[in-house]
Structure 1
Amino acid sequence: MTGSQVPYLLRAARGETLDRPPVWMMRQAGRYMKAYRDLREKYPSFRERSEIPEVAIEISLQPWKAFQPDGVILFSDIVTPLPGLGIDMDIAEGKGPIIADPIRTQAQVDQLRSLEPEESLPFIKPILKALREEVGNQSTVLGFVGAPWTLAAYVVEGKGSKTYSVIKNLAFSDPAVLHQLLSKFADAIATYARYQIDCGAQVVQLFDSWAGQLSPQDYDTFALPYQQRVFRQVKATHPDTPLILLVSGSAGLLERMAKSGADILTIDWTVDMADARQRLGSEIGVQGNVDPGVLFGSKDFIRDRVLDTIRKAGNRRHILNLGHGILPNTPEENAAYFFEIGKQADQLLAVHA
């Protein structure tokens, strides 16, 4: 591919200096879109929506058709590969993953299977293949996986949590069992990420959503080594595929996240983008930073906040995004405006300098 044929987001992720940042949104296919809500009535189960290829393809492409983002992400969930490991799960509407039999003992860890994605995740290949065919070189297809600590948090707690007391109990009273679980998850996630790339994903994002619930020293023990293990394995076979890391509430962890092996770090809104850039240096890419709540503001407010982030991030190794997923009640026209501002950023920055 020539430079002009390489999708814009991929060029940014590889370190090219560009006139404007590529722009996409986390959870850009979802409840804020009427098209998604209409489809959800027909397919009420999240697993149906994400595991029936034609439905997942349609949902993944809804924002593409509406906004033409620079990134189109697979519609799925981080817990999707768990049944392939022998972990029964469901995803409850509005509540998130539910694990039928939480894993808390050595015997349960020993029973986990190795992941064979072609067998247990047969829907992934047709979805990613179709997305690549649909967007061509006009957008970058993103895959994503859950990080070992965050998957373990769901699997040990049995569901989402506000305190993470069950997994912390295991971490601090029987760490050997948790480390074995994290090791198995790291290898399975690396296998799954590589499989997504083989099926068509051009960039993969690792969600360690709940690693921000750890103290810095516990992050170094239970999160970072397993992020590194995933990224190391993926880079060994797919060295040219950019990898993104997200940790929610990560303002105090940026320097630690930079040691993960990720090419790009998602920055949330609890740290100023200029500070993040200063702390991370020029060789680590940055993504995000705009508070999803900004999209409830006026158009002038949205424009000013988006341009502020772009100005502070600079024109190299920056992907414009929200600091987390778009919120369910966000006005659709404000989401459209976010993309519009991102795509006109070079002209707007000149005017609003």
Structure 2
Amino acid sequence: MAELKNDRFLRALMREPVDVTPVWMMRQAGRYLPEYRASRAHAGDFMSLCKNRELACEVTLQPLERFDLDAAILFSDILTIPDAMGLGLYFEAGEGPRFRKVIRSEADVAALPVPDAASDLDYVMAAVREIRGALGGRVPLIGFSGSPWTLATYMVEGGSSKDFRHIKQMMYSTPEVLHALLDKLAQSVINYLNEQILAGAQAVQIFDTWGGVLSGPMYREFSLNYMQKICAGLLREHEGRRVPVILFTKNGGQWLESIADAGADALGLDWTCDIQDARRRVGDRVALQGNMDPSVLYAPAARIRAEVETILSGFGQGNGHVFNLGHGIHQFADPEKARVFVDAVHELSGRFHA
């Protein structure tokens, strides 16, 4: 593999000195970019785009051609594991992801296989290898997975949900069934992320999109517990350097201390967290990633720069900050506003690393 030319993202995750704060965006390859929309139209549908390694590589690199980003993130979907388990993932226009088969019983869970990541998800690994080769050491590549709890919510609900009725019924009525499902998913995620690392991912992020819908005790038992198992099972050294792990629980700000003790190198913060308070609470145990409200990108350029300055000042002097949005960039964001955001992070952050 080519020598890494820009490693400030990896160094920031390890709380090592950097010249400026590194920046990338969740969903940075996505529908807000006209070139992405063209690639998706060429592929025919979303999963065809994910499963074509050349096109997955193409869309992964598109935002790097526009913006001075410090990392690339694999173009894929968090629901590849349940799809490989045989649930039949598809996307309904206007409704998001759906499954042809749902998981509602002990027998359903028992029948689920743990996918062989190297073969059942070979298209993901092919994309990772293709992207690493195309990057040529330009910036690091991030691999990712959904958290067991988040994957389980989709599998039990059959798709997106507003009330999480079915999975919360399982959680409170037959918790042993849900634990069995989460155990299988945790092992699947470990295998999946380790295979991504072996294929070339240089950092990995676990997206716990729905952890924030739980109460504190339930979050620790049914979400954080399994992310901790994943952290303990991941390859943490590859190609002669550390492979950092980022945990991101949306609406998880009330549990930062517990998440910081789960074994990851960095915590992702959504925009509802105050980054100054977050740094005070977790100290130097982990790096912090985030956390500008994606809606700020609808504002004028001066307002975007002011918000960047506020967050940089909130984190303050020193190392261990990766700038990001507090969630994925919106599909209606203006790419030129995204450029203002990325450039502002680099232009304004140098004084915090003096």
TM score, norm. by length of structure 1: 0.94
Q: Which of 279, 282, 296 is the aligned partner of 2:281?
A: 279
Aligned partner letter, 1:336:
R
Q: Distance in 2 between matches of 1:43 and 1:207?
A: 25
> 2:236 & 2:13 partners in 1: Cα distance?
18
The residue aligned with 1:229 is 229
Aligned match of 2:269: 267
CA contact 1:206–1:244 (8 Å) conserved in 2: yes
Deviation of 1:330 after TM superposition, in Å, equals 0.5
Taking structure 1 as reference, are residues 236 and 322 closer, same or farther at Cα in structure 2, changes over 3 Å only? Answer: closer
CA distance in 2, matches of 1:285, 1:97: 32
| Residues 76, 124 of structure 2: 8 Å contact kept | no
Match of 1:345 in 2: 348
Contact between 1:290 and 1:323, CA under 8 Å: does it hold in 2? yes
Q: CA deviation at 1:93?
A: 4.2
Aligned partner of 1:80: which letter?
T
Task: Please say if residues 8 and 140 of structure 1, whose CA atoms lie closer than 8 Å, have aligned partners that are also in contact.
Answer: no
Counterpart Cα distance in 2 of 1:221 and 1:347: 41
Q: Within 5 Å, which residues of 2 pair with 1:283-294?
A: 283-294=285-296
Further displaced range: 303-312 or 151-160: 303-312
Q: Does 1:88 align with 2:91?
A: no
Moved more, 91-100 or 254-263: 91-100
Describe how 1:306-325 pairs up with structure 2 within 5 A.
306-314=308-316, 315-325=318-328
Residue range with higher mean Cα deviation, 165-174 or 278-287: 278-287
Distance change (3 Å), C-alpha of 1:101 and 1:141: same
Quick one: distance in 1 between partners of 2:135 and 2:7? 10
Identify the residue that residue 124 of structure 1 maps to in structure 2. Answer: 124
Q: CA deviation at 1:273?
A: 0.8
DSSP-derived class of the 2:138 partner? coil
| 2:237–2:243 contact (8 Å) kept in structure 1 | no
In the TM superposition, residue 112 of structure 1 has moved relative to its aligned partner by 1.0
User: Aligned-pair distance for 1:250?
Assistant: 1.6
Contact kept, 8 Å, 2:5 with 2:139, in 1: the verdict is no
Partner of 1:242: 244
* Contact kept? 2:68, 2:343, Cα under 8 Å: no
**How much does 1:349 deviate?**
6.9
Q: Find the aligned partners of 2:94 and 2:114 in 1 and give their Cα distance.
A: 30
SS at match of 1:22: coil
| Letter in structure 1 aligned against 2:192 | Y
Per-residue deviation, 1:240: 2.3
Alignment partner of 2:334 out of 326, 331, 334: 331
SS in 2 for 1:143: strand
Q: What amino acid sits opposite 2:322 in the alignment? A: I
Give the Cα–Cα distance (whole angstroms) in 1 for the partners of residues 174 and 297 of structure 2.
44
CA deviations on 1:217-269 (whole Å, 9 max, x unpaired) are 10011111101111110047769210001111122121222122111111111
CA positional deviation for 1:206? 0.1
CA offsets, 1:132-189, max 9 Å, x none?
A: 2222332110000011000000000001111111100000000010000000000000
SS in 1 for 2:59: helix
Letter in 1 for 2:287: G
Residue range with higher mean Cα deviation, 231-240 or 154-163:
231-240
Structure 1 CA distance for aligned equivalents of residues 101 and 4 of structure 2: 50
In the other structure, the counterpart of 2:98 is 98
> 2:41, 2:297 → 1: CA distance?
26
Report sequence identity in percent.
38
Distance 1:289 1:277 in 2: 12
Q: How does the TM-score come out when normalised to structure 2?
A: 0.94
Worse overlay, 236-245 or 333-342: 236-245
* Alpha-carbon contact 2:6-2:70 (below 8 Å) kept: no
* Residue identity matched to 2:319: R
Letter of the aligned partner of 1:178 in structure 2?
Answer: L
After TM superposition, the structure 1 stretch with the greater mean CA deviation from structure 2, 188-197 or 38-47, is: 38-47
Contact 2:29/2:36 (<8 A) preserved: yes
Residues in 1 aligned to 2:235 and 2:117: alpha-carbon distance in whole angstroms: 19
Bigger mean CA deviation after superposition, 307-316 or 214-223: 307-316
CA contact (8 A) 1:21 1:320 kept: yes
Q: Per the alignment, do residues 24 and 6 of structure 1 end up closer, same or farther by CA in structure 2, a change over 3 Å counting?
A: closer
Which moves more between the two structures, 255-264 or 188-197? 255-264
When the two chains are superposed, the root-mean-square deviation of aligned CA atoms in Å is 1.9
Closer, same or farther in 2 for the Cα pair 1:275/1:71, shift >3 Å?
Answer: same
Gap runs ≥5 in structure 2: none
Helix, strand or coil: the match of 2:267? Answer: strand
- Aligned mates of 1:94, 1:266 — CA distance in 2: 28
Equivalent pairs counted in the alignment come to: 349
1:13 partner amino acid? L
Q: Distance in 2 between matches of 1:113 and 1:95?
A: 27
Superposed, which structure 2 residues align to 1:11-50 within 5 Å? 11-50=11-50
The secondary structure found in structure 2 opposite 1:221 is helix
1:64-213 alignment to 2 at 5 Å?
A: 64-213=64-213
- Look up the equivalent residue of 1:332 and give its one-letter code: P
Q: CA deviation at 1:94?
A: 4.1
In structure 1, how many angstroms separate the alpha carbons of the residues matched to 2:251 and 2:220?
16
